[in-house]
Copies of this chain bind each other. A is one copy, B any other.
């Protein structure tokens, strides 16, 4: 499946809805979803560090987990509101997820250049809603944000 602007916008909306759900729960507002090659949602989720006391539950890993066991990830797309950290970038590389749609990489620049160098298609959307979500959150809860990225 080729990604056109309409597809990308719809996929990002799913990730943003997850991020907003996390924020409403008192959590870190990062959301993600894993789409099949046919464009269906395999799994979606958001950061659950605060909600579950689980530091392993990043947006991307939550979406991956929600998708359950898959035999292969060729052709799948991970959409995320924020540039994936090394942990989530490693997940994407290890499992051969083909494409990553990224809401924004202004407030945090993770491992997406490394993924591109290693054959993963990267689409950086530069979405202003995503930038605002993270900017407001980092300003309000800097210690929580630093904990989530190990700083």
User: Which residues in A have some Cβ–Cβ distance to B below 8 Å?
Assistant: 49, 53-56, 61, 64-65, 67-73, 85-91, 93-96, 111, 147, 149-150
> Which of B68, B90, B93 meets A91, CB within 8 Å?
B90
Q: How many copies does the complex hold?
A: 2
Q: Is the CB of A65 within 8 A of B73?
A: no
Q: Is the CB of A73 within 8 A of B150?
A: yes
Given A90-B89, A91-B90, A55-B69 contact (CB < 8 Å): yes
Q: What distance in Å separates the Cβ of A38 from its nearest Cβ neighbour in chain B?
A: 19
- Residues in B with CB closer than 8 Å to A94 are 85-87, 149-150
Given A49-B69, A69-B55, A95-B150 contact (CB < 8 Å): yes
Q: Is the CB of A56 within 8 A of B55?
A: no
CA distance A108 to B151 in the complex (A): 30
CA distance A93 to B70 in the complex (A): 26
- Residues in B with CB closer than 8 Å to A55 are 64-65, 67-70, 95
CA distance A88 to B94 in the complex (A): 9
- Residues in B with CB closer than 8 Å to A72 are 150
CA distance A91 to B91 in the complex (A): 9
Q: Which residue of B lies closest to A60 (CB)?
A: B56
Q: Is the CB of A69 within 8 A of B147?
A: yes
CA distance A25 to B64 in the complex (A): 23
- Residues in B with CB closer than 8 Å to A88 are 90
- Residues in B with CB closer than 8 Å to A147 are 69, 71
